[in-house]
């Protein structure tokens, strides 16, 4: 049974009272349902550059280990560390290159199957809401975006955006309400906006912002655990 959270600022009342909506620019996302289109437009990890870089930089500890040997220095622990680092970097780089050459296609096929089963192309809009940051050593909060299903009608999309923006302004004007809202979000990376605004906003999500300039994402929803859904940038220029 889903946990019921208490949201400050009476977002349902704001939804019911909002009749004028902010106009949104909603560019159509690039095609992604065909396998070739997904490979062209969806950003998925590629390890060629990382593997090549590791193999290249493995020459640095190897060089210094050789220099120490040439200088007739004793084969000390530091030399062992240099040799081990060079071997580890070279082998890791080689494995990544092999995976990129032979394993990437199978990985993309699996991503494509998952995308066809539960993928949603969404438009991305920055918000003023900040989530609690999961990463250690970083800032205490993290910026967020609204993800709006590209198939959603303009009226519903614009209303959801307007109501959420109004609610954020109301909540963040009060420190106690702000604290309560952040606690309700907890450390979840993706939240269905229906949890805050009601069932009419079911095709809109609040998510942690990723560092990409693309106005679209491909959201791979996990039906029974939406906060663990995956996001991939969609880019028409790839």
151-192, pLDDT tens digit by residue? Answer: 999 999 999 999 999 999 999 888 899 888 888 887 788 999
- Reply yes or no on whether the pLDDT at 226 is more than 50: yes
Q: Is there a contact between 55 and 87 (Cβ–Cβ < 8 Å)?
A: no
- pLDDT tens for each residue of 60-69: 777 666 666 6
Q: 4: pLDDT confidence band, cut at 50, 70 and 90?
A: low
Is the pLDDT score of 7 beyond 80? Answer: yes
**pLDDT of 70:** 61
Both tokens assigned to 19: 């009749």
Q: Which carries the bigger pLDDT value, residue 42 or residue 20?
A: 20
d(Cα 33, Cα 163) in Å, to the nearest integer? Answer: 31
Helix 77-98, helix 59-70: angle, nearest 10: 150
Q: Give the pLDDT of residue 49.
A: 65
Residues, the chain, total?
238
User: Domain extents for the chain?
Assistant: 11-24+119-234, 48-114
Per-residue pLDDT at 88 exceeds 70: yes
Comparing CA positions, the residue from 42, 171, 204, 198 lying closest to residue 112 is 42
pLDDT of the residue at 24: 93
Work out the angle at residue 216's Cα, subtended by the Cα atoms of residues 13 and 208, and round it to the nearest 5 degrees: 60
């Amino acid at each position: 049974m889903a946990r019921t959270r208490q949201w400050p600022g009476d977002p349902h009342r704001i939804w019911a009272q909002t009749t004028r909506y902010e106009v949104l620019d909603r560019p159509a996302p690039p095609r992604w349902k065909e396998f070739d289109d997904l490979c062209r437009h969806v950003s998925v990890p590629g390890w060629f550059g990382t593997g090549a870089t590791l193999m290249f930089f493995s020459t640095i500890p190897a060089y210094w280990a050789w220099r120490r040997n040439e200088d007739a220095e004793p084969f000390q622990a530091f030399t062992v560390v240099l040799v081990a680092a060079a071997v580890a970097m070279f082998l890791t780089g080689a494995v990544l290159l092999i995976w990129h050459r032979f394993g990437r296609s199978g990985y993309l096929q699996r991503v494509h199957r998952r995308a066809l089963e539960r993928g949603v192309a969404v438009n991305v809009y920055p918000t003023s809401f900040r989530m609690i940051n999961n990463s250690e050593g970083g800032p205490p909060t993290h910026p967020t975006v609204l993800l709006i299903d590209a198939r959603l009608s303009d009226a519903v999309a614009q209303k959801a955006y307007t109501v959420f923006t109004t609610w954020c302004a109301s909540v963040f004007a009060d420190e106690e309400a702000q604290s309560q809202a952040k606690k309700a979000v907890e450390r979840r990376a993706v939240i269905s906006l229906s949890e805050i605004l009601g069932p009419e906003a079911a095709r809109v999500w609040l998510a942690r912002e990723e560092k990409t300039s693309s106005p679209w994402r491909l959201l791979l929803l996990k039906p029974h655990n939406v906060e663990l859904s995956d996001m991939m940038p969609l880019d028409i220029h790839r």
